């Protein structure tokens, strides 16, 4: 029987999937230190910046998380993006 992954491990796996997808599209992607802030990843391409909060499986962002992500993105002149990863793939939603 396969071992059940912890929420932390699921999050790491989801972040890596998003990183790979963006890198394949030419983005330079870095992981936020500790992933405890409002974003998990930041990506750069042709002068554009993305701050990305990655959610896995049934996890959804709270209104507070979205507000905080928007505020930080605005201060850094970046776009805020939430990417949801589950067994069907990766979906994205711009929130700023």
Q: What is the pTM of this model?
A: 0.86
Sign (positive or negative) of CA dihedral 71, 72, 76, 78: negative
91 or 65, which is more confident?
65
For residue range 35-85, list pLDDT tens digits in order. 678 999 999 999 999 999 999 877 788 899 999 999 999 999 999 999 999
Hunting for tokens 């605005």 — which residue is that?
Answer: 74
Tell how far CA 27 is from the center of its chain: 13
Predicted local confidence at residue 35, as pLDDT: 60
For residue range 70-79, list pLDDT tens digits in order. 999 999 999 9
Fold of the 7-94 domain: Trna Endonuclease; Chain: A, domain 1 (3.40.1350)
Question: Radius of gyration of the chain from Cα atoms?
Answer: 13
Predicted local confidence at residue 34, as pLDDT: 65
Domain ranges in the chain are 7-94
């Amino acid at each position: 029987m396969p071992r059940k992954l912890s929420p932390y491990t699921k999050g790491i796996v989801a972040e890596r999937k998003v990183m790979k997808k963006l890198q394949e599209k030419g983005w330079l992607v870095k992981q936020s230190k500790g992933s405890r802030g409002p974003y998990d990843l930041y990506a750069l391409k042709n002068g554009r910046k993305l701050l990305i909060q990655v959610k896995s499986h049934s996890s959804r962002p709270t209104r507070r998380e979205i507000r905080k992500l928007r505020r930080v993105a605005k201060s850094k002149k970046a776009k805020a993006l939430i990417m949801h990863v589950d067994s069907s793939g990766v979906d994205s939603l711009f929130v700023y």
